Amino acid sequence: MLLSLNQLVCTREEQPLFEPLTMQLVAGHCVELLGPNGAGKTTLLRTLAGLYSQFEGAYDCPDFLFQGHPMGLDELMSPLENLAWFAGLEGHTFTDERAADLLREVGMINFALTPCQQLSQGQQRRVTMARWLLSDAKLWLLDEPYTSLDKDGQVLLNALLSRHCDNGGAVLAATHMPLQVVDKGELPLRPAQVSA
């Protein structure tokens, strides 16, 4: 089991943001977080990633990868160097060949050595996808993964998500655009009942 929530509710100023959540996520499932703007989707993902500490209830999220709103790429370094850094953070061995393969897969091999500040937002987003492939984390926590992607990029993203789930991984994503994957689950964030 890759993710388990037990009456988890994120709070701000001691007020709950949504109704408590209880669910289990097993391998192979792709779950979309549903809720309007401000429902707490980003906060939930950040809580699971360990970046937000105000919550009640419990969660267990042992092996994950987090993609937040900011790209998470150093603009002064090239995609190759960024991937090397991520590999170093996670403690993987890193070879240029493997990185090249990943960049080729996301269509960024021609820009492998260009500093990221010279890449467009969409191109940087593709580099982050290469980063996901580099990691061997089973659970992907993604916040608005479709941002800045063109049509081809979206197709690529869907393919990667499907493949990841097929290979025993799982995805929990907050997204404005519905995930175009087969057999996806939904986790709605309902507004908290205001106590009288």
CA gap 148, 123 in Å, rounded: 9
Question: Is residue 132 a contact point for other proteins (CB under 8 A)?
Answer: no
Stretch that binds other proteins, among 27-35, 80-88, 103-111, 173-181 (CB under 8 A): 80-88
- Of these, 2, 84, 108, 134, which contacts other proteins (CB under 8 A)? 84
Task: Give the CA angle between residues 122, 126, 131 to the nearest 5°.
Answer: 145
Q: Which is nearer to other proteins, 76 or 177 (CB)?
A: 76
Least separation in angstroms between residue 96's CB and other proteins is 13
- Cβ atoms of 25 and 1 within 8 Å: the answer is yes
Residues in the chain: 196
Stretch that binds other proteins, among 18-26, 89-97, 100-108, 151-159 (CB under 8 A): 89-97
Q: Which of residues 46-75 bind other proteins (CB under 8 A)?
A: 49-54, 65-66, 68-75
Both tokens assigned to 114: 């260009």
CA gap 172, 159 in Å, rounded: 15
Contact residues: other proteins, CB under 8 A: 12-14, 49-54, 65-66, 68-77, 81, 84-91, 94, 115
